[in-house]
């Protein structure tokens, strides 16, 4: 039996995330949505979702006294960050005139240029919204049965720019080539939404449920 905690700090699409995990988890696994630090401490695996503005996410996370439990979990156990739950693992975001983040990894979260163009010359809209190819830069247990170039669902105006390129687990293309997944030790964090990404997204979540936290 594995206890999987989905962190609730009021800034994530928690129902769809938790239901998707319940769908793929073993029948003996237990999935909880929680804002209790002790539940995060006691969990075997932690999922850290998020959506909205970086400043609001950081405010709610600290107001709920969840910043340190999340950081501890990211250092100790299988940990999956999703969307804003990936971005605020970095040092700082350009959003809201600049927002200090959790600083688990050194790096900046940057805004897409509003004047980006596709290869055919058409102007690209910001936010980046919809399905896009993900090109993995690593081999990893979380990628079992997921093909290179599989498409996942994105909704974001900002992208991660880690200081250490070795953190980049995958890249995608939207006007620029950008990091769309980070990985180190027991952490996998993705910009896209696996819970909204059909079969490949469910496979990623299934792999997380089975992952022992080793690369």
The domains of the chain are located at 3-210
Angle at 20 between CA 17 and CA 21, to 5 degrees: 85
193 is catalytic: yes
User: Other CB atoms closer than 10 Å to residue 163's CB: what's the count?
Assistant: 11
Question: Tokens standing for 86?
Answer: 């990936």
- Look at residue 121 in the predicted model and tell me its pLDDT: 84
Catalytic residue chosen out of the listed positions 128, 140, 156, 193: 193
Model pTM score: 0.97
- Look at residue 11 in the predicted model and tell me its pLDDT: 84
**Can you tell me the distance from the alpha carbon of 31 to that of 23, in angstroms, rounded to the nearest whole number?**
10
Catalytic residue chosen out of the listed positions 60, 95, 108, 195: 195
- Look at residue 85 in the predicted model and tell me its pLDDT: 96
Q: What is the DSSP letter of 117?
A: B
- Look at residue 118 in the predicted model and tell me its pLDDT: 86
Low-confidence ranges of the chain (pLDDT < 70): none
- Look at residue 12 in the predicted model and tell me its pLDDT: 78
- Look at residue 1 in the predicted model and tell me its pLDDT: 87
41 is catalytic: no
Q: What's the CATH number for 3-210?
A: 3.40.50.880
Catalytic residue chosen out of the listed positions 83, 101, 180, 209: 83
Residue 102: exposure state from Cβ atoms within 10 A (0-12, 13-18, ≥19) = buried
């Amino acid at each position: 039996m594995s206890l999987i905690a989905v962190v609730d700090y009021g800034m994530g699409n928690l129902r769809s995330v938790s239901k998707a995990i319940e769908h793929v988890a073993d029948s003996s696994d237990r999935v909880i949505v929680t804002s209790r630090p002790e539940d995060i401490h006691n969990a075997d695996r932690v999922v850290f979702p998020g959506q909205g503005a970086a400043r609001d996410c950081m405010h709610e996370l600290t107001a709920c006294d969840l910043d340190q439990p999340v950081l501890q979990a990211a250092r100790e156990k299988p940990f999956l960050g999703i969307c804003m739950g990936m971005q605020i693992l970095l040092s700082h975001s350009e959003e809201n005139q600049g927002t200090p983040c959790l600083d688990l990894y050194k790096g900046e979260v940057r805004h897409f240029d509003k004047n980006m163009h596709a290869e055919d010359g058409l102007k690209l809209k910001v936010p980046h919204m919809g399905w896009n190819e993900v090109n993995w830069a690593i081999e990893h247990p979380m990628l079992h049965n997921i093909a290179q170039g599989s498409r996942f669902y994105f909704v974001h105006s900002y992208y991660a720019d880690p200081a250490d390129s070795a953190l980049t687990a995958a890249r995608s293309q939207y006007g620029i080539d950008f990091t769309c997944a980070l990985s180190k030790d027991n952490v996998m964090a993705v910009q896209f939404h696996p819970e909204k990404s059909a079969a490949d997204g469910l496979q990623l979540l299934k792999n997380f449920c089975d992952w022992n936290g080793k690369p």
